[in-house]
Amino acid sequence: MTLLYIRGLAPYQLGENGTDVIINEVHFNRTALDTYNYRLYTNGTLSNGTNCYLAFQRFRPHMFAENGTFINGTSCYAPINDIGQHASLGLAYALMFVIAIFLSLINLRKHGRSYLPHDHRWNIVSRRLKWCWLIFVAVCGAISCFMSIDVDRNYLQSAPLILQSVFYTLLTPGLMAAVWEAVRHWASWQARQIHDRDPYAFTKTSTRTRQETLLPILFYILALLNFILTVPRSWSAIELQRSEEQQTLTPAHLEHSIYRYKPRPSSTAGQLLFYLNAAPSQFLLAIAILGIKIGYAIASAFDWTVSPLKYDVQSGWIYGLGYTPALLIILLFNICGYCELNEDKALIARRGELESALASDVGIGHRNPPWWKKQRLRSEDMARYVEMGIIKPQEQSGDRVVGISELNKEEPRVTTRQATSIGDDGSESPLDHVEHVVQPERSASPQPIPRGIYEGEV
């Protein structure tokens, strides 16, 4: 008949007498074991709820019956196993997350700098939040993957499994916040470009401002609730928490941004594919990858065998559908951030292009071609200018039209000179009269220079 051992208790092997028992070839006093409440369990551990020792294979603890102390004992929570596949993958992923931290810091430095005067409408914190969330996700992923090494090596799971589970659980809300901030700031960047071209583009009253205010508040309220329901709780019985509402808000904000800041096509086919064509491909790809991770989280909540919080879960589940989406999103945003310009620099370049286009339309800043000379004005053009009254004809007989030298003829100029006197102390003082001198007109032939000097009392 099969015996039923309550709570996984294993029977003692009898020794030489009624008080002697043998545990892994070591003799123990049964009375002392009962006195200090030690029990032998089927997993090969000897524990009283406070102290736990391994008692199988090469682990042979010895107990002093007088005071209940052990020598040559190995704790049940010691990492005694070799590094396996789970730990090896954890180490590799941890190194990749560390590299992702440095890449995100480089892009944070690149895109977080300001090259234009501060404008309260376009807060510089807005463009930094995405990179801060990506750094947070990379840090959580690195800690969680490093903890997986001890999870793989420990005989009985303890603090490493809790740390791995806590930081893994923080990956999902961190990724959702990073994608959210990327989408939200993209909308802000579109509005900034439109406002830079036309400062009066958003003067008309609409629901745009209300939506852009309420959506972030709603998102972060749900994020706070998700954090409260996930982290500050007992991790002794690990349960998976998830937030489906946040996953629906990010596409909603992306749809709002496209609707507000992208021109809509006139054709029916274009309108059907409007949101897919107008949305940046990086956001569509990021939302798709994030959806895979959310789907895995929901599935693991109903099937414990594939849960990432299970210490011996298959590596393909936790690394393939848990950590890989996080790394892909971080890598995607960092590659796009490396290829994109700093927003202030991009705005300065756009302003330069706009000024060049305006100058080209007006004709400013253009050099005349080498063959162009002022003397190439044709006689019919000059006649037309005379007819229009732009140029006065020369006052002499004949039909000759005034030449170019006449155009450069200057009108008489009047200059004013004020006489001064120097006193004994070296200071200058004005006299009581002013001279007005009429400058002579320029002429090709020498003529007498008219000059008039007028004096008047000041």
Lowest model confidence (mean pLDDT) among 260-269, 316-325, 335-344:
260-269
Of the spans 164-168, 309-313, 406-410, which averages the highest pLDDT? 164-168
Of the spans 259-263, 289-293, 376-380, 428-432, which averages the highest pLDDT? 289-293
Specify whether 257 is located in the same domain as 173: yes
Specify whether 288 is located in the same domain as 328: yes
273: how many CB neighbours lie within 10 A of its CB? 11
* Stated pTM of the model: 0.65
CB 154 within 8 A of CB 160: yes
Lowest model confidence (mean pLDDT) among 7-21, 41-55, 318-332:
7-21
Specify whether 157 is located in the same domain as 90: yes
pLDDT (0 to 100) of residue 332 = 94
CA-based nearest residue to 201, from 144, 260, 257: 260
Specify whether 242 is located in the same domain as 106: yes
For position 141, which CATH number holds?
1.20.1070
| Domain contains 409 | no
CA-based nearest residue to 12, from 194, 411, 20: 20
Whether pLDDT at 36 is above 60 = yes
| Domain contains 398 | no
Q: At what angle do helices 281-302 and 244-261 cross, to 10 degrees?
A: 160
- pLDDT top residue among 373 and 348: 348
- At 396 the three-state DSSP class reads coil
| Domain contains 132 | yes
Q: Which residues of 328-355 are buried (b: 16+ CB within 10 A; e: fewer)?
A: bbbebbbebbeeeebbbeebeeeeeeee
Q: For the chain, what is the domain count?
A: 2
- pLDDT top residue among 92 and 450: 92
Q: What are phi and psi of 211, to 5 degrees?
A: -65, -40
State how far Cα 328 lies from the chain centre: 15
- From 353, 383, 401, the end of a domain falls on 353
| Domain contains 239 | yes
Specify whether 278 is located in the same domain as 237: yes
- pLDDT top residue among 7 and 114: 114
Whether pLDDT at 351 is above 70 = yes
Q: Which residues of 280-299 are buried (b: 16+ CB within 10 A; e: fewer)?
A: eebbeebbebbeebbebbee
